[in-house]
Amino acid sequence: MELRPEEAEELAALRSHVTTTRRPSSPGLEARMFEPLPCLDHGFVRVVDYMGDDAAVVQAARVSYGTGTRKVSDDRNLIRYLMRHRHTTPFEMCELKLHVKLPIFVARQWIRSRTASVNEYSARYSILDREFYLPRAEDLALQDNQNRQGRGDSLDAEQAAEVLSLLKHDAMHNHAQYERLLEHHGLSRELARMTLPVSWYTQWYWKIDLHNLLHFLSLRMDRHAQYEIRVYADTIGSLVADWVPLVWEAFADYRLGAVTLSRQMMKVVQAMLAGEPPTLENSGLSRREWTELMEALGR
């Protein structure tokens, strides 16, 4: 990821400007303000602003004036209780605003999470730079035979080289056509952009409350999520861990590292504990559910 000189200068000016406030602040996130965190080849995530911290979640749950006289351990236990029992409203009291640069096809997948406020860079008003996503050779894979929206085995070195060459040639050709439509034909920007592929980079400001952000991360940090959006989710996750460490600990324990069992799955586990190993045929589970359960149990 490379910033243009004017972008680097703007961020440097923002970092040098320090303000005092009476609002609660998070030291962990303050240290990462205005720092673009690289994602993929040209993308990034950076914090623009935030509201609240761990104490804000606790304060909302208790409806109190401030931190009070309770110990940090009490706050930790309350946050874990809220997370464990899915009391979501207190987490909605915190918000995070991010500046994200990402490929268009990732943005189209991302925007399915409709619980955020979004303002995207407009190619109707501005001319797009020649920046497109080109995967690493090791990230190129065949279509999975079982999962229709997933990747299977990796391409061999020769195949990967040919695919990368095709992708790069196609992107360069399309951008040349884009420039020709603008400069030679004088076509409007809102129409000329049609020739660009979804590998092109866009940017947006994305603001979301902590509850909905954690839901987004639970989906996009999952190992089954598409690699490219998972890169962004992992980066955002590292910011959340610095912002609200007690919330993040509870989220990691009760969401990321947890397994949800259906009623039928619980019966299978109870039978196993009673020394009566069930079978797929009498479990009431589909083959896929049975496989998922056995994987979760390490069997």
pLDDT per residue over 211-230, tens digit each? 999 999 999 999 889 999 99
Rounded to whole angstroms, the Cα distance separating 189 from 205 reads: 22
Domain co-membership, 80 together with 124: yes
DSSP letter, residue 298: T
Confidence of residue 64 (pLDDT cuts 50, 70, 90): low
Among this protein's residues, is 4 annotated catalytic? no
Q: What is the pLDDT of residue 65?
A: 59
Cβ(271)–Cβ(264) below 8 Å: no
Q: Select which of 220, 223, 230, 288 is catalytic.
A: 220
Angle at 138 between CA 132 and CA 143, to 5 degrees: 85
Rounded to whole angstroms, the Cα distance separating 252 from 241 reads: 10
Domain co-membership, 58 together with 95: yes
Other Cβ atoms less than 10 A from the Cβ of 65: the count is: 7
Domain co-membership, 18 together with 160: no
> Which domain range does residue 151 map to?
136-196
User: Does residue 147 surpass a pLDDT of 80?
Assistant: no
Percent share of the chain, pLDDT over 90: 77
Over residues 24-43, the pLDDT tens digits come to: 899 999 999 989 999 999 99
Looking at the 3D structure of the chain, how many domains does it have? 3
Q: What is the pLDDT of residue 66?
A: 59
Domain co-membership, 86 together with 53: yes
Domain co-membership, 172 together with 289: no
Domain co-membership, 30 together with 126: yes
Confidence of residue 67 (pLDDT cuts 50, 70, 90): low
Confidence of residue 152 (pLDDT cuts 50, 70, 90): confident
Q: What is the pLDDT of residue 149?
A: 72
Domain co-membership, 209 together with 190: no
Q: Are strands 117-120 and 43-51 parallel, antiparallel or unpaired?
A: unpaired
Domain co-membership, 120 together with 207: yes
Instruction: Report the predicted TM-score, pTM, of the whole model to 2 decimal places.
Output: 0.90
User: Does residue 232 surpass a pLDDT of 90?
Assistant: yes
Q: What is the pLDDT of residue 68?
A: 52
CA 70 to chain centre: 34
Domain co-membership, 111 together with 204: yes
DSSP letter, residue 127: P
User: Does residue 167 surpass a pLDDT of 80?
Assistant: yes
Over residues 276-295, the pLDDT tens digits come to: 988 999 999 999 999 999 99
Residue 152's φ and ψ, nearest 5 degrees, are: -110, -130
Among residues 97, 95, 119, which one has the least CA distance to residue 107?
Answer: 119
User: Does residue 190 surpass a pLDDT of 70?
Assistant: yes
Over residues 253-273, the pLDDT tens digits come to: 999 989 999 999 999 999 999
Other Cβ atoms less than 10 A from the Cβ of 250: the count is: 24
Domain co-membership, 191 together with 204: no
- The residue-averaged pLDDT of 4-24 equals 79
Over residues 197-207, the pLDDT tens digits come to: 999 999 999 99
